[in-house]
Structure 1
């Protein structure tokens, strides 16, 4: 399995808030917050913080199948909302789950018989032509991102395969909503963050999508930054290495007054769309907010021992959206970070229904006020 050969960067933008009474979500949905939507054959998991042991909140769900693959594929990002755990990589977890297209079709047919529901799209379609990470179950409404979303209509499969494996999938899907919890989980309620759909656009199309107000806002941010730091961001050139994955990057030697040319490059790159909450470019080059530690992507896959590659990162604009549904924390954002970089198994290994833990690295934001 492999991703697209060319380096295509997709940008995620916050869309309408999810209303459980009006909207239906599944593992095909891309969203912020809420509870994770697992595929019909994936065992549910409730990860805990590596530092304090508290249940982690679900931060982002991304549907991201690979080109020429028979698998549906998801990434779920979780984080600890504890004040002492903010900004620590060991307080975040990333779980990857996969599901064969055939198994997903059987599971959805048996557990969700509503004829109005759409069948899962082919995992190969997303890589070739689509610019969206999910299928909307509702008709497009005003304020849903305009022309960004493009729904895909795929015919429902006629019948489920009559095999022993299909029978097993049928049982697992029917039991999907059943969950055994221990006494500790009952005492410690899992924090749930407000849920939003994610709209997706190709970064190369941002100039066409950006309206005048957003562009003026980006220009004001850049002018403020240049005045404070005594540097013209437009004069800083990106001389980073062209390789992806774990290759070390060479950055521009020109230093801003605060000595952080890496952050200057970060600001320049996102200036066209400072409201982006997520960047996706599997096999591409991450956008660091500060100098990365040596060997940040050198960790081996915990499942197959193979190498990992960069896949996506969470952006500072996401921070303001991460608030509890129950009003806990006084309405303040639950998490603080500059960027969260996610690295996944290059081979996307998969052997069972248990989600595979991947690697993430958290960088704190040196200038959080720029994004508020």
Structure 2
């Protein structure tokens, strides 16, 4: 729930603290990739580069048509490749995004495309299944112990009815036919199991690490074969895509009466999520959406990617996509008679994950969720890569370049403001026959907001 009071912000220096961490991960460039093994490793996230066969997760090479622009039909350059498995999923997962730099294809749907590659990890799947079984066994043991404890408290005759003086379960245990055991024994058993689970979890983590290393080793040792992908256009050399948390200045506290009740959004993992609930006001004078975008991005102008699975996209401008994702909330009709006169507050918009633009997954009909978005600075980085620019920009030069792009200073080539990627919530791996498969190559939904 958004804060109930959002007007009259205080600018007192005493109320401003250190920066707060949000739930957004920022992708930033981190130097060229020179290792041959890492270039062939799908688990190495990158900006640009060739989409060679061994960098794809599916065992069977995807068709080159996956990268073709839907406008000009020519293969597009790989913009980013991200290693982003879903939590507690047995599937290795990577996201691939291509973009067309042909001027005639700009501002048209289909000039930016995103695909996800999945590969079933048998070893990790077995570990997940064993971990789930251990967790269920632990929960069942605790449940039984709790039931026995409650039976002991509610049955006043348990001590007299029990043939074992050390048995607290008494009549309740005899009725259900469970063999009695001393409390101390039960407690020690639970403690022993918890220790066993702890040690098994540590072993599982070690096995998972070993499994991952084995997977990556096998991938990097794969021999390159002749493929249409090797001749595809590319931004070279590719750059490492590193991630960092987003930090923002804390929102000033509003000046409100001490007796007023303010509902704050719940924190997740100690991270500030109030920005996600901040509504957008309607204005005919200023594009507040664009103003907020530039302000938010300005805190870290080097960001190329914003990643927040199940999160809220950061809209670039007040276009049709914004109108759909952030609809005007319903309100009472305006009164038409003087006695019914009342003040109508400005309507504010919040993100609607059920937007009509978010078409369901064509494979499983699951809903689409926001996963990440490409930022304007990615165009700068790719242009520098294409022009072999290696100069390290100062903070002032970087901010100036970002502001230039945000204000419509794009040169010939890609012109988008941001590309939002919405993925299947189920991360499905169902084929046309309704069966689960081990290798998946599926296109995800991309919504592009173009330059203002």
Q: Which residue is 1:34 aligned to?
A: 49
The CA deviation at 1:94 is 0.6
Alignment TM-score, normalising by the size of structure 1? 0.60
The one-character-per-residue Cα deviations of 1:234-272 (angstroms, maximum 9, x if unpaired) are xxxx99874xxxxxx9512356x5x31110111121221
Please tell me whether residue 267 in structure 1 is matched to residue 267 in structure 2: no
Unaligned runs of 5+ in 1: 1-6, 106-123, 125-151, 161-169, 208-237, 243-248, 367-372
Alignment TM-score, normalising by the size of structure 2? 0.50
Q: Is the alpha carbon distance of 1:157 and 1:81 closer, same or farther for their aligned partners in structure 2, counting shifts above 3 Å?
A: same
2:295 aligns to what SS in structure 1?
A: helix
Whether contact under 8 Å (2:124, 2:211) holds in the other structure is no
**Bigger shift: 79-88 or 318-327?**
318-327
Whether contact under 8 Å (1:239, 1:250) holds in the other structure is no
Q: Which residue is 2:31 aligned to?
A: 16
Q: Which residue is 1:349 aligned to?
A: 428
Whether contact under 8 Å (2:50, 2:232) holds in the other structure is no
Highest Rg: 1 or 2?
A: 2
The one-character-per-residue Cα deviations of 1:204-232 (angstroms, maximum 9, x if unpaired) are 3x67xxxxxxxxxxxxxxxxxxxxxxxxx
Q: Is the alpha carbon distance of 1:175 and 1:262 closer, same or farther for their aligned partners in structure 2, counting shifts above 3 Å?
A: same
Whether contact under 8 Å (2:76, 2:99) holds in the other structure is yes
Unaligned runs of 5+ in 2: 1-21, 126-130, 132-205, 250-272, 325-354, 389-410, 431-436
1:279 aligns to what SS in structure 2?
A: strand
The CA deviation at 1:23 is 5.2
Q: Is the alpha carbon distance of 1:260 and 1:159 closer, same or farther for their aligned partners in structure 2, counting shifts above 3 Å?
A: closer
Q: Which residue is 2:225 aligned to?
A: 178
1:74 aligns to what SS in structure 2?
A: strand
Whether contact under 8 Å (1:322, 1:335) holds in the other structure is no
Q: Which residue is 2:78 aligned to?
A: 58
User: Within 5 Å, which residues of 2 pair with 1:211-230?
Assistant: none
The one-character-per-residue Cα deviations of 1:12-42 (angstroms, maximum 9, x if unpaired) are 1111022256954411111100023212625
The one-character-per-residue Cα deviations of 1:302-343 (angstroms, maximum 9, x if unpaired) are 222221111000001111122497769xxx774222101000
Q: Is the alpha carbon distance of 1:357 and 1:21 closer, same or farther for their aligned partners in structure 2, counting shifts above 3 Å?
A: closer
1:203 aligns to what SS in structure 2?
A: strand
Q: Is the alpha carbon distance of 1:260 and 1:348 closer, same or farther for their aligned partners in structure 2, counting shifts above 3 Å?
A: same
Q: Which residue is 1:146 aligned to?
A: none
Whether contact under 8 Å (1:260, 1:290) holds in the other structure is yes
Q: Which residue is 2:281 aligned to?
A: 252
1:90 aligns to what SS in structure 2?
A: coil
Please tell me the root mean square deviation across aligned C-alpha atoms, in Å. Answer: 3.9
Whether contact under 8 Å (1:239, 1:252) holds in the other structure is no
Q: Is the alpha carbon distance of 1:23 and 1:62 closer, same or farther for their aligned partners in structure 2, counting shifts above 3 Å?
A: closer
Counterpart among 240, 265, 270 of residue 197 in structure 1: 240
The one-character-per-residue Cα deviations of 1:125-145 (angstroms, maximum 9, x if unpaired) are xxxxxxxxxxxxxxxxxxxxx
2:311 aligns to what SS in structure 1?
A: coil
2:416 aligns to what SS in structure 1?
A: coil
Q: Is the alpha carbon distance of 1:69 and 1:298 closer, same or farther for their aligned partners in structure 2, counting shifts above 3 Å?
A: same
For residues 362 and 92 of structure 1, the distance between their equivalents in structure 2, rounded to whole angstroms, comes to 8
Whether contact under 8 Å (1:323, 1:333) holds in the other structure is no
Structure with more helix by fraction: 2
